[in-house]
Structure 1
Amino acid sequence: MAVFNIIHITKYQYNLPIKESINEIRLFPHNFENQDVLQYQLSITQNPNVAISNDYHGNRVGNFNTLESHTEMTIESRMLVRVNHSLKIPEIDHTKVSDLNLHNDIYLLRLCYPETIAKQDEIDAILKEIDCSDKSIIEIAYECSKYIYNHFAYTKGITNIETTVDEILGHRKGVCQDFANVLLQLLRTAGIPSRYVSGYICPNESGLRGEGATHAWVEIYTPKQGWLGIDPTNNIWTMDNHVKLAVGHNFIDCTPVKGTFKGVSKQTLSVCVSIGYEDGRHFEEINDVELQKNSVEYQQQLDYAEQQQQ
């Protein structure tokens, strides 16, 4: 069991004033069997009203508007979370894909459909190499995770949230979100209900890859044990240092912050994650996030607006 004090700060800055910012956030940690949210506090620039609801996957979602003109928006999420995973490989479970009976469960069926990609033959080849024919769901998930861990290099800065599975298969490099997407394609092709998970991986003495920042992994479903988390970035089942925020079919369903605004402005985004421990230790990481490139038309409008300011 472990208790973490996590501060997640998302900061948008604009070189020209914008207005009518409309946003949707998924920054509320899960309460579930292995995780208790002891405290939670949300602070947003200009203190807008936040309407909270639950989405299709059971995530808490906040929606808010900032109508006034502004050049900066900060969203600060503070949480005290207690995690109590088993810290061991899931119990022996011989359930196979052929044993699944999902005909009456639309939610699980939807989580069995892989993306349509150009390099599906490479996914099929990996599954053939693993030989899933007589393996249990648990074994298939672990073998797929191990394959990614051994054959894909953990490399920062060459992918972003829009990088496709085809691109990841091409260069076989990336970070946690990329490995989660490849694992989802493998597991769903094999017929296993699987979902994307966003959260944090808190640093420990073993030095896990991706720790200290927002993290992504995968959950698989078995009739006997329910949802089980597996982290292909580190080739481990989720442990006490995995804190879950949101789940979904893919990253889009779990995006921590997304929105739109009125105005023509160049925006920058930075994310700071600070993690405090019961023994007084503290870890902090700041990342500048690469945003989607502007269209040619928008860039022309931006250039013109900037010239008018000179």
Structure 2
Amino acid sequence: MQLLIQHQTTYHYSLPSTYTIQQLRLTPRIEAHQQVIQWEVKTGGHKTPFIDAYGNQSHTLTITGAHETISILAHGIVDIHAPPFGRIVDVEHFSPLVFTVPTRLTEATPAIYAFAQRGLPRDQTATTSELLHLAEQIQTAVAYRSGTTIVTSTADDALSLGLGVCQDHAHLFLACCHVRGIPARYVSGYIDPETSDHADSHAWVDVWAQDHDFHGWVSIDVTHACLMNDAYCRLAVGRDYDSAAPVRGVRRGGGTETLEVSVHVTPR
């Protein structure tokens, strides 16, 4: 499937900002199952491309001089083939154990520890079927409701509240896997809205499955409790939202900030 994607991010400041630096993870990953046909990231300031620690196509954006708005447009066409059984087979140059380390957003509390013990039967190993079952349990425990959490909300916040969005579902899944010593990582990207009742911008997980015929990464959409297919475009992977966020940075001055984000994904 080819997806036509347009992602507009606009910052407005109540006072002039004198300096901004941001990391942009707005370019689809180079992976066996997805090919970028055309892609561009347009913005003011100076962009420097780089590959981050997790192999994500990234840019550092710096803007100097007084500015009251920042406009970032990422758009293009990506050709995607469904990975068989959700399996991500690209060769990587670091151990999956990198993704067993908890973060502030995925730290295990007693409530998460108990949930993980119920959701995953064994330490350090799980089959794809068992991991999909964990996703179903998270669906039941944390109902999808937009506006109930923010980007700094933790996995425990979502579990305690019983409400959240795709980011919260992913963080709770990661936290449960880390309790059991199973590698799992956060994925940011897009989903064709014709296949989902949720937003075009999306978050899900890769988790290290051990099936009888495969040991490796399997990509699971926790919010829908299903395997990733050709309706998903992958932007970045990381330990959590903080390390895979599409836009993240700091500024000097600017007063109060207002953020507008518009994402449109259509099959082509």
The normalised TM-score by structure 1 is 0.77
1:73-222 mapped onto 2 (5 Å cutoff): 73-86=70-83, 88=85, 107-115=95-103, 120-130=109-119, 132-133=121-122, 136-204=126-194, 206=195, 208-212=196-200, 214-222=201-209
User: Counterparts of 2:153 and 2:37 in 1: how far apart (Å)?
Assistant: 35
After superposition, give the CA deviation of every residue in 1:6-25 in whole Å (9 maximum; x if it has no partner).
01110001122112212211
Structure ID, larger Rg: 1
- Verify: 1:30 aligned to 2:18, yes or no: no
Q: CA deviation at 1:115?
A: 4.6
Q: Kindly provide the CA deviation profile for residues 182-229 of structure 1, in whole angstroms up to 9, marking residues without a partner as x.
A: 00011121221110000011112x5x24232x1100001247353211
Deviation of 1:112 after TM superposition, in Å, equals 1.5
Out of 217, 220, 239, the residue aligned to residue 230 of structure 1 is 220
User: Contact 2:100 / 2:184 at 8 angstroms: preserved in 1?
Assistant: yes
Matches within 5 A, 1:205-284: 206=195, 208-212=196-200, 214-222=201-209, 224-278=214-268
- Percent identity between matched residues is 28
Q: Please identify which structure carries the higher strand content.
A: 2
SS at match of 1:143: helix
The alpha-carbon distance between structure 1 residues 172 and 242, as it changes in their structure 2 partners (threshold 3 A), is: same
Listed one character per residue, the Cα deviations across residues 47-100 of structure 1 (whole Å, up to 9, x for unaligned) are: x3311111110011201211121111100011210111147566xxxxxxxxxx
TM-score when scaled to structure 2? 0.88
CA distance in 2, matches of 1:59, 1:106: 14
Q: Secondary structure at 1:258's aligned position in 2?
A: strand
Give the alignment's Cα RMSD to 1 decimal.
2.2
Check whether the contact 1:113–1:189 (CA below 8 A) recurs between aligned residues: no
5+ unaligned residues in a row in structure 1: which ranges? 91-104, 279-310
Shift of 1:256: 1.1
The one-letter amino acid of 1:59's match is N
Alignment partners' CA distance in 1, 2:16 and 2:49: 27
Aligned to 1:62: 59
C-alpha distance in 2, partners of 1:120/1:209?
31
Distance of 1:209 and 1:171 partners within structure 2: 22
> Which structure is richer in relative contact order (CA contacts within 8 A, separation 6 or more)?
2
Q: C-alpha deviations, 1:263-310, integer Å up to 9, x for none?
A: 2411100111122322xxxxxxxxxxxxxxxxxxxxxxxxxxxxxxxx
- Secondary structure of the equivalent of 1:182? helix
Report the counterpart of residue 6 of structure 2 in structure 1: 7
Matches of 2:122 and 2:25, distance apart in 1 = 38
